[in-house]
Structure 1
């Protein structure tokens, strides 16, 4: 294992723990190529900074619409 990977592992673990403490859960999903291309277009257009941000926005809009309407992320 390289030195940079060893140094970043504790940082990644700390970030993951902080998110879990805030009530977030990590999940892995498979998306169709066309969906990924759509996400990438939205990022290129400046609508989102990352794929993670785009997917979080869509998930929140679908399952927490009231929160999205009153509290932008």
Structure 2
């Protein structure tokens, strides 16, 4: 999985009814474009994570208007 600063990382809920978690990539800590990533969640908390198969990256140009 590749991401850059400013991309959004979407982690899909694993339980029926669980909301997706959306985080902003604030720093790439691995080799260029590679995990681990420092991310900031909707509440402003920052964490370092290596995304799993339940995650996807949204680049700023990929977003739908109003999303």
Q: What TM-score does the superposition give when structure 2 sets the normalisation length?
A: 0.23
Give me the TM-score of the superposition, normalised by structure 1.
0.22
